[in-house]
A and B are shown apart, each in its own frame.
Chain A
Amino acid sequence: MKKLRCSPTAKAVAVLLLCVMALLFLVSLLCLVELNNQNAFSYGYEYARQNLLGSLGRKQIDQIRDLYFYQGLQGSEIFPNTNLRFSITLDNGEDLYSNYQGEEFLWSGTMTVTLPYPSWVPGSYDSYGSSSGVLTTPVVTPTPKPTPEPTPETTLAPAYTPAPIEDETFLPVPTPTPRPALTPSDQAASSSPVEDPETAQIHAYVLSDLSQQDIFSYRLKLFSVLYRLRYFAVVLLVLSFLIGVFLFLFLIGAAGYRNTSGVVTNGWPERIPYDLFTCLCMVLFFFPLMIPFDGGVEYNILGFLLMAGMLLFSGLVLLEFCMSTAVRIKTRSLLSSCLSVRLFLWLCRCCRSAGAALLASLKNLPLIRRGVLITLVLFLLEFLLLAVTPSFDDDIALALILKDVLLLLGICWLLLSFRRLRDGAKALASGNLNARVSTDRLYFDMKDHAEDLNRIRDGMNAAVEERMKSERLRTELITNVSHDIKTPLTSIINYIDLLQKEEPQSETEQEYLDVLGRQSAKLKKLIEDLMEASKASTGNLPVNFEPCDLNVLMQQMLGEYEERFRAADLTPIFTSPEEAIPILADGRHMWRIFDNLLGNICKYAQPGTRVYLNTSCQRDRALVTFRNISREELNVSASELTERFTRGDSARSTDGNGLGLSIAESLTRLQGGEMLLTLDGDLFKVSLSFPLFRDSAERESIKP
């Protein structure tokens, strides 16, 4: 099935088959309709045959009347060489024409005709127009009367007993002329021809031998064939219908599969917008059906073929329409391909962008102008609406204008109040805590709102003040505590010094004094470092950023430390790039950082080793690294080392208080840098990185 739906040949075959099926269906349908019209299914063959003969015969009689009375043809000129025989008799008994010689007949009928005008003569042409005469006068009397030879007809007559009923329908008009009055005159007609005839009677007979090729023999033969095939026609109808439906469904299902990929794609008909396509199909569908057919075409083989072709064309148009619709549904492009939908969407988009542009331009307008503009537009709309209402007069207009003016004033006042609130809130949001919203000429909720805003401002002010106060208190606390500790310490140090100057009483006394001196010096250093650390870690330290060259700094520090390195038996090796490495930092803090790190190296590095110092630039960062070999085993992690009071030697035998690295890290971070500690075996590495300060223009602006 999947292969089939993709193959164009299968589709073509299906279309062909569908045409054939449609034709078969139509033919069988026509056949059945014909049979049913003659009541063949309910009353049997003979009755239906008589019915057919009746309807054909009556048509012929009508024609005879027209031709004879109104066209002025001679009797012999009418229907020569057919199976029909007829006689025309005037009501005064005069025979006008007859070619019936008493042969056996299958069917006979009579029609009473009013003469076109009283002094009518056979062969004269009716110049007054035939229609009026035909419409008013056609009368066919019941048949039993003119049956002189009852031979085969007697057998037939009972079979079509309902014939009079049928004739009744044919002549609803009661015969105007009193028949009893005529019958006596029938006999008198031959004797007194002076009397003007008013009506004539046409008797028609269909001969039973049907020796001539005419409409009777043709239709009767066809009818007998149709009758014989009547059940087959039913079967054909059903079969062709089912097969046709199946083929139709297949075509709908296969529509759009143009290749084996299994994807539905649009073909050329789908490029036409759906609504246009629908209109086109409708025009093409109804166009052939609107071609007028003249009545005779149904017996013309050419006409029949033409009609069939037209029908086929309409059918194909319908099929294509269905298939295209199916494809569009499958590709979900039914609505989107509609021109009207596209137009609608485009209009929507236009409206939306126009609205957005309008809104944006409105938003850029100052608040008051914006509000007034909107109000005025609304007023204009109001007036436009009212102007089209019928009950609009000058008084109402005046009242409305008054109302609008008042409303506009009110809105202006509201907007002015709102603008003040808005400005106050904006100032508050931007951090201006001194802005107060004035509550003069603000009323009701506006006033409440302004007061609320002021309260928020007060609250924020209080919070900020509180915070600044606590910050100040903390700074003061640090200085005060520092002072309160340092003052007694000064005494301690001084008096120990004084004691040491005295002559010692004993050796132990001297020893104890030395301990006191050492420990008080250590305490002094600890307190200074502690203050420094607490200030650095809380950021409570002013930073004066200045351009600072790391190379110069390192040279200066090495100059300072030259002696101490020598004392600790260390060899510093400093490598740096040729060019300067400028950073923005506070020189004193940088000194403190380097002092701590180099001091650590002197304290903790293995004597007799080299200390590697390096400065470099990496993209936008300036890097400084200090590398040395530790004397003690480093049994702590890098992160622990930067914590306060942690030292590389857990025994704490050396002097130092473990604050050095912590202070260095805090100060580094304070100046926007990063400090990284790496421990690799006994290798202790500190890396500092600062943002490079490269912009010369920036440098110029800093320098003065």
Chain B
Amino acid sequence: MPKILVCDDDRDIVSALRIYLESDGYTVICTYNGKEALNAVRTDPEISLVLLDIMMPEMDGIRTMTALREDRNLPVILLTAKSEDTDKILGLNLGADDYVTKPFHPVELLARVRSQLRRYLSLGGSPDREGALKIGGISLDDRRKEVQVDGEPVSLTPREYDILKLLMQNPGVVFKPEEIYRRIWNEEPYGAEGTVAVHVRHLREKLEITPSEPRYLKAVWGQGYRFEPVRETAQWKGDEAK
């Protein structure tokens, strides 16, 4: 079973996480500050995921993460009480694969852990098929009309599939609802572009772990929608391991 390193200065949280993760079948190593976590990662090569709290004494999560990334390219999920967007962006830019804001719900956390581990361990095995679009944990095979999230197939309606394809073909580009409607429905919207928003929401509910805080399918409020280009740290590691 994959080994997961948990690091938080609050022991209650650590033990709670341990219970959850162990009940889900993972092996858990508990550490209570950044240095311990670093040592553990260096000594135990079997660790395949790190859960890091940001606000910790002695060595905070961000520094710990950058330090351990120098040794190994492990997937890192940050636990943060700072809900400010700047902190999230900072964490992601510095190489975190995901983040969970406190107070988090255990189900959400477990879903994210599972997603990261799947990508880290198993996805590397599945070969990139010809014509497949792959961004982050989401891959779209246009030949088979198949979409996989972290290796698991997701069923989409034709409209949803078309929208996702359009957005994934142009990652980072913002599409107005009107434009999406015109391209997918192939007709002038005449006020019907409101349906695009409903479709995008459904799509998001199917693709995202927490639809209210999407990682891939983002709404740019007042402008439109776009597919977020995600950096592929874990992916490279997976290739390496292979």
Contacts and interface: CB of A to CB of B under 8 A. Distances in A.
Interface string A488-510: 11111111011000000000000
A588 B10 CA distance: 32
B105 A497 contact: yes
A558 B191 CA distance: 13
Given A482-B82, A559-B198, A588-B221, 12 more contacts: A482-B83, A483-B102, A487-B13, A487-B81, A490-B13, A491-B13, A531-B83, A546-B223, A549-B222, A555-B177, A559-B197, A588-B85
Contacts, number: 108
B222 A486 contact: no
A587 B222 contact: yes
Given A495-B16, A559-B201, A548 B81 contact: no
Interface in B97-127: 102-106
Contact of A590 (B193, B194, B201, B222): B222
A556 B221 contact: yes
Interface residues of A, number: 40
Contacts of A585: 222
Nearest to A475: B84
Interface in B168-218: 176-178, 193-201
Interface in B29-87: 55, 81-86
A550 B223 CA distance: 9
A528 B223 contact: no
Contacts of B82: 479, 482-483
B222 A542 contact: no
26 contacts: A483-B82, A486-B102, A487-B102, A490-B102, A491-B12, A491-B13, A493-B103, A493-B105, A498-B16, A524-B103, A528-B83, A550-B222, A552-B176, A552-B178, A555-B196, A555-B197, A556-B219, A558-B194, A559-B195, A559-B199, A560-B197, A562-B198, A562-B201, A587-B221, A587-B222, A591-B221
A550 B222 CA distance: 6
B86 A542 contact: yes
Given A548-B223, A552-B177, A559-B200, A487 B10 contact: yes
A521 to B, nearest CB: 9
A494 B221 contact: no
Interface of B: 10, 12-13, 16-17, 19-20, 55, 81-86, 102-106, 176-178, 193-201, 219-224
Nearest to A479: B82
Given A558-B194, A559-B201, A562-B198, A490 B221 contact: no
A547 interface: yes
Contact of B220 (A488, A524, A557, A587): A587
Contacts of B224: 552
Contacts of A397: none
A556 B177 contact: yes
Interface of A: 479, 482-483, 486-495, 497-498, 524, 528, 531, 542, 546-550, 552-553, 555-560, 562, 574, 583, 585, 587-588, 590-591
A494 B106 contact: yes
Contacts of B86: 542
A557 B200 CA distance: 11
Contacts of B55: 483
Contact of B223 (A489, A497, A549): A549
Nearest to B204: A560
Given A487-B102, A493-B105, A559-B196, A479 B221 contact: no
Contacts of B19: 498
A558 B177 CA distance: 12
A491 B193 contact: no
A574 to B, nearest CB: 7
Contacts of A482: 81-83
B19 to A, nearest CB: 6
Contacts of A479: 82, 84
